[in-house]
């Protein structure tokens, strides 16, 4: 398994976002996105930082088409949201991430602060 430090370096080199995991039962988890992947695109837009991810995610309400980098190759994945999907409260989500100790990125990564 790739170390967290190596994963952040790989993501920086590829101009993507390191995937530190997916919450159980989410569309990403159900589609097979996992720790060690690097998120390169969402809905046809590059995701070099979390802000770009949020903007690209908002382009569709029914799901996302993502491109991840895994095991030396790019892989397109289609994520579909359940029709009765409840809205996500950002504060609750952030609390869960903090509890899981995943955070939003590498504190040394300047891209996360811009």
| pTM to 2 decimal places | 0.73
Identify whether the C-beta of residue 19 lies closer than 8 Å to the C-beta of residue 53.
no
Whole-number Å distance between alpha carbons of 84 and 9: 38
100 versus 12: the higher-pLDDT residue is 12
Mean pLDDT of 24-41: 93
HSE-up (13 A, CA, CB side) for residue 113 = 5
Identify whether the C-beta of residue 3 lies closer than 8 Å to the C-beta of residue 17.
no
For the stretch 61-80, pLDDT in tens is: 889 999 999 999 999 999 98
Evaluate whether the domain defined by 4-102 bears CATH number 2.30.42.10.
Answer: yes
Every domain of the chain and the residues it spans: 4-102
For the stretch 99-113, pLDDT in tens is: 665 544 544 544 443
> What pLDDT score does 85 carry?
53
């Amino acid at each position: 398994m790739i170390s967290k430090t190596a994963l952040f370096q790989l993501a920086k080199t590829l101009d993507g976002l390191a995937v530190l995991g997916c919450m159980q039962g989410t569309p990403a988890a159900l589609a097979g996105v996992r720790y060690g992947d690097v998120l390169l695109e969402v809905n046809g837009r590059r995701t070099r930082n979390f802000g770009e991810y949020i903007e690209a995610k908002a382009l569709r309400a029914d799901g996302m088409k993502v491109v991840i980098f895994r095991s030396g190759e790019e892989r397109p994945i289609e994520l579909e949201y359940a029709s009765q999907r409840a809205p996500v409260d950002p504060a609750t989500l952030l609390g869960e991430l903090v509890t899981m100790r995943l955070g939003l990125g590498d504190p040394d990564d300047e891209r996360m602060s811009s």
